Structure 1
Amino acid sequence: MEAVELIKKVRRIEIKARGLSRHIFAGQYHSAFKGRGIAFSEVREYRYGDDIRNIDWNVTARFNHPYVKVYEEERELTVMLLIDVSGSGIFGTRNSFKREVMTEIAAVLAFSAILNNDKIGVMFFSDKVEKIIRPQKGRKHILRIIRELLEFNPESKKTDLNEPLRYLTNAIRKRCTAFIISDFISPDFDESLRIASNKHDIAALKIYDPAETAIPDIGLVRISDPESGFEKWVDTSSSVLRRNYSQWWNNLSEKTKNTFIRAGVDSVSVSTGEDYVPALIRFFKKR
């Protein structure tokens, strides 16, 4: 991508993502993803209505007047975006490629995080961990993430969620909030997700294209697997072929959904053919 074109794309995504984060998602994000708990802030004089369980008896005895401890939420989080950069992301038949939708959603989440004073980091993955951007704060950091999302070329085109999930479990020592943004077309990752979710607060954002859900009846066509490079001519007028594919897709979707449920992971599905904003709002509200 040419430098001028890249700058324009980064700026366009920044304007959209910042606007959505500031005006729509800031409050939703804050409510949905809480901090690590509460921490002691200060001691002040007791006021009518204060919880008597918070009385500081040592200070009260010293000044012969009731004082209470005041606590505040430890708001700051470390947020990790686990972003699928495998070959299947370069697919789209409607408004955008899956990779483009992933990039915009990642930008919205990143700006929402920094508006809440959270650190944001990124893991690009295929069937392995491709690249790590360490958690930091600030606009420059977010713009770097967006540039990487637009320009990054993975070494592998395949997908396997087990490797990034193991890395999340073993290498990210402190508890974090992790968003997995992927189409989740991957070998079984049930156990890896369950182990990772015991340590971290994980949310799954499944990105799919409507054309992936069913094969249309359009005659003889050549299909290609973007991850393996395998190509084949198929007769889409075959009702058996279309039925078998639909069954495969439905089984895969149900299996993925059950994997999330068993691991206690909240999830949302986002279509490339629809506006992702309503889906994200519903997702934040249900957490």
Structure 2
Amino acid sequence: MIPREMIKKIRRIQIRTSHKVDELLAGNWHSAFKGRGIEFEEVRPYQIGDDVRTIDWNVTARSDQPYVKLFREERELSVQLLVDLSGSQNLGTTSQTKRELVAELGALLAMSAIKNNDKVGLTLFTDGIEIAIPARKGSRHVLRLIRELLYCQPIGTGTNVKHALEHLNRVCKRRTVVFLISDFQDSQYESALKVARRKHDIIPVVIYDQREQRMPNVGLVRLQDEETGEVVTLDTASRKNRQQYAELYRKHSEARDNLFRRLRLTPIHLETGCDIVEPLHRYFHQRESRI
């Protein structure tokens, strides 16, 4: 039995994101993600007016009368949300944590997919695979995904993007639209990302908080790494310390984004406490113009 308060919270995020889907995303989604193209369906006897370029010459030769090929548009997509739930997602120094932002984003993407009659699945990962839900359709399925995004209690605390991508490559046989949602506090995942990039349509979504970019001057503070448990004391009154802190983040971000550029992946950057619809709207519009 799902607790009443949990049901209320799931319904609230469903209603809030449903409004955003109706207002901004549904049309963009349909235009940005075209499906797998045109697929062969069957042959039938030639009729006056048929395009002679569709004649199936092999069947025609065997039957002594002309046959044409019929095709259909394969619109249905399979969408996978590959979501990082590592300890660093608990950070939040504005109106929401990264974990709360991820839940809202996941709900928004899942409902956009379902509204366009696409299937959507969910894989939650840390340094291992926490939950893997196959892609399906339907509003009840979306509610299950939202529940897991909000209330899953992960066993692991670290981040292993490589392992998550290898799992994706094993279980997703069809070409899939994959939203890889993470703060990417990890390394050594380039080879797995290359393989996934060849098989699937990968869209990296980088989640971050402003305090990861710069440390304010608040004197001596104790900081704990949510993924390793390590505790350090930092004197934020020192300009040198603040500059080193910012430089470490800059170098990590630059290396990550350079990797995406090498693989011709276009990331979406989302900050806690900020609007997520406009960056998605902008990304879908840019993607549509490239197709």
User: Would the TM-score normalized by the shorter structure come out above 0.5?
Assistant: yes
Count of residues paired in the alignment: 279
Counterpart of 2:143 in structure 1 is: 143
Counterpart of 1:224 in structure 2 is: 224
CA distance in 1, matches of 2:109, 2:55: 39
Matched-pair contact (CA < 8 Å) for 1:119–1:135: yes
Matched, 1:243 2:255: no
SS state of the match for residue 221, structure 2? strand
Query: Where do residues 108-147 of structure 1 align in structure 2 (5 Å cutoff)?
Result: 108-147=108-147
CA distance in 2, matches of 1:212, 1:83: 19
- Counterpart AA for 2:33: F
SS state of the match for residue 267, structure 2? strand
RMSD, matched Cα: 2.2
CA distance in 2, matches of 1:222, 1:51: 74
Query: Where do residues 1-287 of structure 1 align in structure 2 (5 Å cutoff)?
Result: 3-40=3-40, 53-54=53-54, 71-287=71-287
CA distance in 2, matches of 1:114, 1:133: 15
TM-score for both structures, normalised by structure 1: 0.90
Unaligned runs of 5+ in 1: none
Residues 46 and 126 (structure 1 numbering): CA distance in 2 closer, same or farther, change over 3 Å? Answer: farther
TM-score for both structures, normalised by structure 2: 0.89
Q: CA deviation at 1:217?
A: 1.2
Matched-pair contact (CA < 8 Å) for 1:182–1:206: yes
Unaligned runs of 5+ in 2: none
Q: CA deviation at 1:170?
A: 2.0
CA distance in 2, matches of 1:174, 1:70: 23
CA distance in 1, matches of 2:53, 2:4: 61
Residues 208 and 51 (structure 1 numbering): CA distance in 2 closer, same or farther, change over 3 Å? Answer: farther
CA distance in 2, matches of 1:158, 1:245: 21
Matched-pair contact (CA < 8 Å) for 1:215–1:245: yes
Structure 1, residues 1-25: CA drift from partner, whole Å, max 9, x if none? x822211110011112222223311
Q: CA deviation at 1:78?
A: 1.2
- Counterpart AA for 2:168: L
